[in-house]
């Protein structure tokens, strides 16, 4: 239970730090947010709970493939905002677009031989 609380607090601190940096330095905050901190920490915690090389390799490979469908969201949102859409509309549209691309990856990936 304490390990879960520690992980949740660490994630919260990371998000808060990005938000605070972003108020003054948006590009720096974007750089920090783009770092694979969540993936790396997830791998560390996963390894700690289950030190299995094949399981870790599968996790890292699947993470790579799931990053790809998330990238278009980061282009859709600024295009919508610059076109006059409200923040929440752009955010929801980006989220829905992201979910649809994840579903497509889950459906299509195994059909082309990806192990997800």
Per-residue pLDDT, 3:
81
**Residue 10 pLDDT > 90, yes or no?**
no
Distance of alpha carbon 108 from alpha carbon 39, whole angstroms: 23
Distance of alpha carbon 35 from alpha carbon 14, whole angstroms: 11
Place of tokens 């790396």: 40
Per-residue pLDDT, 98:
96
Q: How far is CA 15 from the centre of its chain?
A: 12
Confidence of residue 85 (pLDDT cuts 50, 70, 90): very high
**Residue 75 pLDDT > 90, yes or no?**
yes
**Residue 70 pLDDT > 90, yes or no?**
yes
Q: Are 44 and 10 in contact (CB under 8 A)?
A: no
Per-residue pLDDT, 6:
85
- In percent, the amount of the chain with pLDDT more than 70 equals 100
H or E, element range at 55: helix 53-67
For residue 33, which of 110, 66, 25 has the smallest C-alpha distance?
25
């Amino acid at each position: 239970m304490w390990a879960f609380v520690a992980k949740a607090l660490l994630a919260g601190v990371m998000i808060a730090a990005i938000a605070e940096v972003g108020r003054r330095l948006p590009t720096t905050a974007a750089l920090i947010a783009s770092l694979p901190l969540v993936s790396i920490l997830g791998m560390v915690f996963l390894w700690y709970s289950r030190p299995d090389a094949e399981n870790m390799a599968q996790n890292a490979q699947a993470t790579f493939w799931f990053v790809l469908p998330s990238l278009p969201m980061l282009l859709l949102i600024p295009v919508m905002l610059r076109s006059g859409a409200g923040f929440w509309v752009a955010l929801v549209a980006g989220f829905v677009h992201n979910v649809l691309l994840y579903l497509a990856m889950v459906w299509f990936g195994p059909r082309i031989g990806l192990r997800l």
